[in-house]
Amino acid sequence: MNANPQWDISRTLGVARLFQLVCGVRDACVTPFLTLYLRQLGLAAPWVGILMGTKHLIAAFWAPFCAFLAKSYQKRRVLLIGSLLGSVGASLLMALVPPLDKDLGYRSCNGSHSVITTVLPPGVALTLNFTSAQEPALNHPAEAPSLPDKRSTGIQDASGFRKGSGKSIQEPFSHLPSYFVGSIEGAGTTSGVLLHPVTSEMKESPWEGAFKVVSTALPLLARDSALGSPANLSVTKGNIGVLGLSWEGLQWTFLLSLGSLVFWELLTAPLEQVADDSLYEYLDFVDATDRYKNLWIWRLLGMSAGVCGIAALVGQLDCFLMTNGPPGVVHFYGYSLVSTLALLVSITFPVPVYRRREPSYTPVKVLSLVGGDPRLILLAFTVFLIGAATSTVQNFLFWHMKDHGSSELVMGCSVALSLLGEILLHPFKTRLLRKLSRVCWVGLGLGCLSGQLLYYSFLWSWWSVLPAQIMSAISNGALWWAVEASVEDLATPRTERPLSTMFRGHFYGSGASLGSFVGGFVVMHFSLAVLYQASCVVLLLWLALFLSIQPKLPQERKINYSKLLAVEASDTSDSEQGTERDWLVKAMREEHSDWKG
């Protein structure tokens, strides 16, 4: 490869930092709030899980494939510009998806507390437990059931529900009047029992034998929250017309959301990996790869600022920009605007024209390397479970916070708090990894992540999620540092980046996809609290298995000669004598101490 005299490391790093910062702001505009927007469209947890699982699956396998093609055909800059330009329009397609409730935006902007109808898969019905001071006239099925009177609904709590003081009754959803979808004043406490329309016993009910109780869901009819919450109000093909909706409308909402999300992800997914590969090869050519490792901090800074900024703008501009769609379209407008800015920066982003003639490691070759090392296999399963557990937080934590009265600004601050914790812990990264072994940090990270999940299942107020976000510095930051350091130590020469890409992309993305698919149905049949508690139990069981298996694995290690040569190059002093000059012994001792115990 011939050197390019115009290449300037300082200028390149400046452009790379700016690009990472802008891309961080861009991602923060939509990514954390996407599932909340899908909920406001009227889609229930299983549908949202399918959408997010598809999104993670595309990112896990499509991005490496596009990066390989772009490198092979020298079209990296074309892909960067095309990805950013296409994502500007693709993101706006999501804002055009019609919600199930056409009047939702109008009512929310006029201050009325509307109820958003969310739809479950076919074959599920519902009973609502209304709290009323008087026993309703259930002995007259011909009469339409009336909603509780304001005087009998009790006091409204912080989460938007009203605490009743009477008896609880059950009403099948198919008998609710059509005006139930509109603004409901003084709605009583409900418990959202999901029912299958099959033969079963239901004592003291005029519809005995009509339904079978499946599970208890989260409270319904929360102010400014989706009807049915994550567990969702169930609308079947038979009763969807009672709500003033149509089964075709449900199908169109889901299919349009799926098509828009898939098209958007196909355009967006390759951007990050192509940019990282281009920058790394540039810095590798000029022997400055040590400057590459700290660039991710700028992306986290951008996300911290962007997630709070867009949340603040949503409250101010949503009603001004919205026509008849659900709240949240400002997220997509902001995403498109920042993508345009990133497009301008990408024009000067460093993309090497030539590449070294070195052996390429295809995913099949890298996967064979993983399969040949039991420690990498164990680490791969760990990353897979981390992805599955983390997806439950990314997909449904904001739903849980919304049910407890959190605003989008509080949600944004919770994300920023976790990101800032990782940034503040980063200066101590080297010291921490030397104090404890890689295995200890992986175990500590898994323990903190399971503790967070357990804590999320017991949220009691809109602010209660904030203290747990501090733990993300360990459950996400330190955990991934240990994983990447372990992968780097176990990799053979020139396979560090392909292995890291496979762990971050294929294994983590596949786990996140499976977690999204399964998580949506767990929320439907049980609740969000059960989902987080189950995820916590699975992680704790794997942690015990991980710590019991790890000491029994063979501990022989491959010597990373690239590291040793780097130490040799830096050792230019002639004053060092004896073992101090024996860099091979020193490096092997340090590496052995990292894995000791």
Domain boundaries, the chain: 7-104+249-351, 362-552
Amino acid at 144: A
Cα–Cα distance for residue pair 595/379, rounded to 1 Å: 14
Per-residue confidence band for 354, with pLDDT thresholds at 50, 70 and 90: low
Q: Fold for 7-104+249-351, please state it.
A: Growth Hormone; Chain: A; (1.20.1250)
Cα–Cα distance for residue pair 553/368, rounded to 1 Å: 18
User: Do residues 40 and 116 lie in contact, with contact meaning Cβ atoms separated by under 8 Å?
Assistant: yes
Q: How far apart are the first and last CA of the chain?
A: 44
Q: Fold for 362-552, please state it.
A: Growth Hormone; Chain: A; (1.20.1250)
Q: Among the ranges 81-95, 141-155, 178-192, 228-242, which has the highest mean pLDDT value?
A: 81-95
Contacts of 160 (CB under 8 A, 6+ apart): 222, 223, 224, 225, 405
Judge whether residue 385 has pLDDT over 60: yes
User: Do residues 516 and 391 lie in contact, with contact meaning Cβ atoms separated by under 8 Å?
Assistant: yes
What is the pLDDT, as a whole number, of residue 588?
A: 56
Domains 7-104+249-351 and 362-552 share a fold: yes
What is the pLDDT, as a whole number, of residue 12?
A: 87
Calculate ∠ Cα 46-28-397, nearest 5°: 40
Cα–Cα distance for residue pair 159/222, rounded to 1 Å: 7
User: Do residues 514 and 434 lie in contact, with contact meaning Cβ atoms separated by under 8 Å?
Assistant: no
- What whole-number percentage of the chain has pLDDT above 70? 64
Mean pLDDT of the 156-173 span? 37
Cα–Cα distance for residue pair 495/323, rounded to 1 Å: 52
Q: 292-296 long-range contacts, Cβ below 8 Å, gap at least 24?
A: 294/426, 295/13, 295/16, 295/17, 295/20, 296/20
Question: pTM for the full model?
Answer: 0.75
Per-residue confidence band for 361, with pLDDT thresholds at 50, 70 and 90: low
Cα–Cα distance for residue pair 562/493, rounded to 1 Å: 7
- Residues 316-334 have pLDDT tens digits of 887 776 555 677 889 999 9
Per-residue confidence band for 359, with pLDDT thresholds at 50, 70 and 90: low
Counting runs of H as helices and runs of E as strands, what totals does the chain give?
22, 8
Question: Which residue did the predictor score with more confidence, 181 or 352?
Answer: 352
Tell me the average pLDDT of the chain: 74
Q: Which of 9-23, 103-117, 316-330, 481-495 has the lowest mean pLDDT?
A: 103-117
Judge whether residue 284 has pLDDT over 60: yes
User: Do residues 38 and 48 lie in contact, with contact meaning Cβ atoms separated by under 8 Å?
Assistant: yes
Environment class of residue 25 by beta-carbon count within 10 Å: exposed (0-12), middle (13-18) or buried (19+)?
Answer: buried
What is the pLDDT, as a whole number, of residue 71?
A: 87
Q: What values do phi and psi take at 163, rounded to 5? A: -85, 115
CB-side exposure of 400: number of CA atoms within 13 Å? Answer: 26
Per-residue confidence band for 109, with pLDDT thresholds at 50, 70 and 90: low
User: Do residues 70 and 265 lie in contact, with contact meaning Cβ atoms separated by under 8 Å?
Assistant: no
Contacts of 282 (CB under 8 A, 6+ apart): 7, 12, 350, 351, 352
Residue 299 structure tokens: 């992306």
404: helix, coil or strand?
coil
Cα–Cα distance for residue pair 321/357, rounded to 1 Å: 52
Amino acid at 462: W
User: Do residues 535 and 408 lie in contact, with contact meaning Cβ atoms separated by under 8 Å?
Assistant: no
What is the pLDDT, as a whole number, of residue 590?
A: 55
Q: Which of 259-273, 313-327, 389-403, 539-553 has the lowest mean pLDDT?
A: 313-327
Per-residue confidence band for 28, with pLDDT thresholds at 50, 70 and 90: very high
What Rg, from alpha-carbon coordinates, does the chain have?
27
